Structure 1
Amino acid sequence: MATDSGFDRRALLGLGAAAAVATPAVARAQDPSVVQLGDLWPGPPPGGERVTVEEQVVLRTPGGDPNDTAFVHVRKPWLMMRRPERPNGAAVLMIPGGGYQRVAVGKAGGGIDAWFARQGITAFVMDYRLPADGWAAGPDVALQDAQRAIRLIRARAPEFGLDPARVAVAGFSAGGHVAARLATRFATDSYAPLDAADRLPTRPLAAALFYPVITLTAPYAHGGSLKNLLGPAPTDAARRAISAEQDIPADAPPTFIAAAADDKVVPMENSLLMFQALRAKGIASELHVFEAGGHGLGVSGQAGPMPSAELLSLFLKRHGLFA
């Protein structure tokens, strides 16, 4: 169970077993602090002319919590908001994981967005499209959705009482790769502008990466993400082109990174590579590698306390997420 000082370990887990299509008869009552903001795009997302897959919502655990879902073959990515009781004007865009095979997210909210809300930070959780489904942008399709999402948050900031300059990003597992690319590829628009929101900047004020996929190069690439992003036989050049530790800009945002040394899914060397790349460019950054915790480390792991949430809170205070 989550507490005010930490994350729920299961809520942090970015990968899970997909089951049959989930059409639960009984679901948790919608928390009034959770608001569905609707689709990211004003019409069909860009580059979908050859997309023929059908979107599905699946249970991550057969017979499990009907709100513990994943979205597969995403056609219409969306954005959800968790409103704090006492908002401080800052916001975070949360990007869940799923190995680029699915997006492990539910519309009812979860432990992590609730934790951010308890800190006074308005949390936005996004769904995103997947590169193996035929989108014209290929491996950049999730980046398109992330850039669109942070622009929408900034466009609607006055409506929600937010400071558009104080928007961070937090990514988990493969979502950490999306978040890292959002934090380092903001100088390049990944899609043609569609409306006034697309004139807004995409650089987050700060980034937080939890057990992230970072590199697509050998020997530390996460195999599932690599295959889903680039197919079965990618070139070394293609691998480097979408590796988040490559070509870090000098004005990348301050970045917090947390991983466990015993992660059997995404090698923790991904986190080390990102930290080293940021440090080489003089970017304010912080890395925490815990002895145990596996993939999805939270405040408690197999070997006892892991105060990653408290450390993140201190980091965000230093970098402007608290008034």
Structure 2
Amino acid sequence: MPMIDRRTLLAGSLVGAALSSATMAQGAGPAFPLPAGFERFPIWPGKAPGGEHVTVQEQEMLRQLGSSTDDTAFSHVTTPTLTLLRPARPNGAAMLLIPGGGYTRVAIGKEGYAIARRFAEAGYACFSLVYRMPADGWAAGAEAPLQDAQRALRIVRALGHKEKFDPERVGVMGFSAGGHLAAWLTSRTPRESYAPVDASDREPIKAAIAAYMYPVIQMEGPFVHAGSRTQLLGANPSPERMRVYSLEHDVSADTPPVFLAHALNDAAVPPENSLAMLAALRAKGVTAECHLFENGNHGFGLAPAPAAPAPWPDLFLNFAKRHGL
């Protein structure tokens, strides 16, 4: 009974047998060591779906020159993973973090490890997702990252009992292009993007709350982030295709409460992306809170003052607590 075996593996020992970050799944040699306290494991029981014609090789590198060794980014992801940080004092809830990177890479150090530490301090079990890139030749094309996000959310929920949090108290937070993926995952009526592979896929694609941080939302119009659109949809997508992937359209009335934050001086992903999403959420009667900061530029993450805007993690935590997370 393979489904039962895989469920047992997932719920009983998947995290305990987490992959060492010093070994790439494709045998590509040593990568950067995981920061202390983190564990990493693959989200698919075998190879990720639809990779028959994928030839890219996964890489982990410093996010920028001068970054510390735990400020890294993954490109050409072939083995999607979750990286878990357990809280010292659990509050019974979890967060799925989806870092950004323009759909060309996943900046796990800045918008994974650092954010996970902050929210683990508040009691959340934190899972950071490294997802596949849409232009790397996967059969699913643009939906390859959505497959990973849906699978990751289901795995997080399935691990609730083992990791001592309520599966109904899982939040999703995405940053930049990861904000697009988080909104895609949580703001539309769930649609199966892959064939089930084990019993964890019986879990609903459902989050208790969602947060879109300086998100890419629009794939059409004057405020689009052209780099993300090109990676997701190609150089010359049709108007119909751009509309389909512009997430201010087709928002579900069942979207969980949403927290948005954006800097008004963001020159990379204009704040009109968050404003368009806020308007769409309000039109559907979805509970939402939106913070627009004077400064911060794009990708402010946990930048220290005075570069950072107001302490958005505290604003988010207050929002989360009000809505039961």
User: TM-score per shorter chain, which class?
Assistant: 0.7 to 0.9
- 1:179 counterpart = 2:193: no
List per-residue Cα deviations over 1:190-249 (Å, max 9, x = no partner).
111111011111121100111000110111110110000011100111111111111001
List per-residue Cα deviations over 1:101-137 (Å, max 9, x = no partner).
1111149963210111111111110100000001111
Structure number with higher relative contact order (C-alpha < 8 Å, ≥ 6 residues apart) = 1
| Whole-angstrom CA distance in 2 between matches of 1:29 and 1:50 | 30
Residue of structure 1 aligned with 2:312, choices 304, 308, 314: 308
- In the TM superposition, residue 62 of structure 1 has moved relative to its aligned partner by 2.8
List per-residue Cα deviations over 1:16-62 (Å, max 9, x = no partner).
xxxxx9967xx677423x222x1110011111111111111122223
TM-score (norm 2): 0.87
Q: Is the 8 A contact 2:100 2:111 kept in 1?
A: no
Change in CA separation of 1:310 and 1:292 when aligned onto 2, cut-off 3 Å: same
* Moved segments of 4+, more than 3 Å: 21-24, 27-30, 106-109, 298-305
Match of 2:39 in 1: 35
TM-score (norm 1): 0.87
Change in CA separation of 1:56 and 1:242 when aligned onto 2, cut-off 3 Å: same
Match of 2:95 in 1: 92
| Whole-angstrom CA distance in 2 between matches of 1:178 and 1:162 | 24
Match of 2:148 in 1: 145
- 1:72 counterpart = 2:101: no
Structure 1: tracts of 5 or more residues without a match: 1-20
Q: Which one-letter code corresponds to 1:31 in the other structure?
A: A
| Whole-angstrom CA distance in 2 between matches of 1:256 and 1:281 | 15
Q: Which one-letter code corresponds to 1:309 in the other structure?
A: P
Q: Which one-letter code corresponds to 2:205 in the other structure?
A: T
- In the TM superposition, residue 153 of structure 1 has moved relative to its aligned partner by 0.8
| SS state at 1:132 partner | coil
Change in CA separation of 1:320 and 1:118 when aligned onto 2, cut-off 3 Å: same
* Percent identity (aligned): 51
| SS state at 2:60 partner | strand
Change in CA separation of 1:22 and 1:45 when aligned onto 2, cut-off 3 Å: closer
| Whole-angstrom CA distance in 2 between matches of 1:82 and 1:304 | 24
| Whole-angstrom CA distance in 1 between matches of 2:189 and 2:47 | 23
- 1:167 counterpart = 2:179: no
Change in CA separation of 1:176 and 1:51 when aligned onto 2, cut-off 3 Å: same
Q: Is the 8 A contact 1:89 1:121 kept in 2?
A: yes
- In the TM superposition, residue 155 of structure 1 has moved relative to its aligned partner by 1.1
| Whole-angstrom CA distance in 2 between matches of 1:267 and 1:213 | 9
- 1:240 counterpart = 2:256: no
| Whole-angstrom CA distance in 1 between matches of 2:293 and 2:206 | 29
- 1:292 counterpart = 2:263: no
List per-residue Cα deviations over 1:175-199 (Å, max 9, x = no partner).
0000001102352111111110111
Change in CA separation of 1:107 and 1:41 when aligned onto 2, cut-off 3 Å: farther
Match of 1:198 in 2: 201
Match of 1:261 in 2: 264
Match of 2:126 in 1: 123
| Cα RMSD after superposing both structures | 2.1
List per-residue Cα deviations over 1:61-110 (Å, max 9, x = no partner).
23532222111111001001111111011001000000001111149963
| Whole-angstrom CA distance in 1 between matches of 2:273 and 2:108 | 23
| Whole-angstrom CA distance in 1 between matches of 2:30 and 2:46 | 26
| SS state at 1:239 partner | helix
List per-residue Cα deviations over 1:163-182 (Å, max 9, x = no partner).
00000100001000000011
| SS state at 1:312 partner | helix
- 1:318 counterpart = 2:322: yes
Change in CA separation of 1:118 and 1:212 when aligned onto 2, cut-off 3 Å: same
Q: Is the 8 A contact 1:22 1:59 kept in 2?
A: no
Q: Is the 8 A contact 2:189 2:252 kept in 1?
A: no
Q: Which one-letter code corresponds to 2:39 in the other structure?
A: V
Residue of structure 2 aligned with 1:45, choices 44, 48, 51: 48
Match of 1:275 in 2: 278
**Matched positions, count:** 297
